[in-house]
A and B are shown apart, each in its own frame.
Chain A
Amino acid sequence: GESVGLHLPTLSVQEGDNSIINCAYSNSASDYFIWYKQESGKGPQFIIDIRSNMDKRQGQRVTVLLNKTVKHLSLQIAATQPGDSAVYFCAETPDTGRRALTFGSGTRLQVQP
């Protein structure tokens, strides 16, 4: 079936640098996308979302970019901090009224002090 996947399983960055986490999705009907952060021993935590009628959305230190042409999603974290170390998942749901999410496999972000 269609799925959401990630290019890089682990990303290591220096504290203060910007981080970019990428995600590819295969369902062209995907309408809504979310990035989640999961710290060890905890449930996923919402970071930022974006609908398919947008190509960019900014939050506090985070930006999500959506390229529907190539079905690619990215999460940019500015001035990465040690507290950003976690596994990041992208997730998508199609515009069919079914609002359950399909999750990617996750990228581990390691921030070096």
Chain B
Amino acid sequence: DARVTQTPRHKVTEMGQEVTMRCQPILGHNTVFWYRQTMMQGLELLAYFRNRAPLDDSGMPKDRFSAEMPDATLATLKIQPSEPRDSAVYFCASGLVLGKATYEQYFGPGTRLTVT
């Protein structure tokens, strides 16, 4: 049963610290998405990769957030320095997109980040 995995599941850190979240997409999927979910804003897209290349990161605060895919099996989202307003659940999702055909995205369990 293929699924997206995320680590850590929970992270509590102090303001100013660096936070790194990791995601392993489903093998064979060519797109990876990072979303943030809060009660106030709901689900927001932060970054989107296809074939490991960033396609859209317009939703991500550039001064403190960075997203990378060092290889096809690992996506990372880093916050440096972290702030209390970054507290949220961060979801990674992967999917397979070929041309105009569109396939559903599979979400990981999320990383719950609390910045104090």
* B-binding residues in A (CB < 8 A): 31-32, 34, 36, 42-46, 49, 51, 89, 93, 95, 97-106
Contacts and interface: CB of A to CB of B under 8 A. Distances in A.
A32 B97 CA distance: 13
B71 interface: no
Contacts of B35: 103
Contact of B42 (A31, A32, A45, A103): A103
B107 A43 contact: yes
Interface stretch (B12-20, B61-69, B78-86, B98-106): B98-106
A34 B95 CA distance: 13
B100 A42 contact: no
Contact of B100 (A46, A95, A100, A105): A95
Interface of B: 4, 31, 33, 35, 42-45, 48, 50, 55-56, 91, 93, 95, 97, 100, 102, 104-110
A1 to B, nearest CB: 10
B106 A46 contact: yes
Given A44-B107, A98-B55, A99-B31, A93 B102 contact: yes
Nearest to B59: A100
Contacts of A42: 109-110
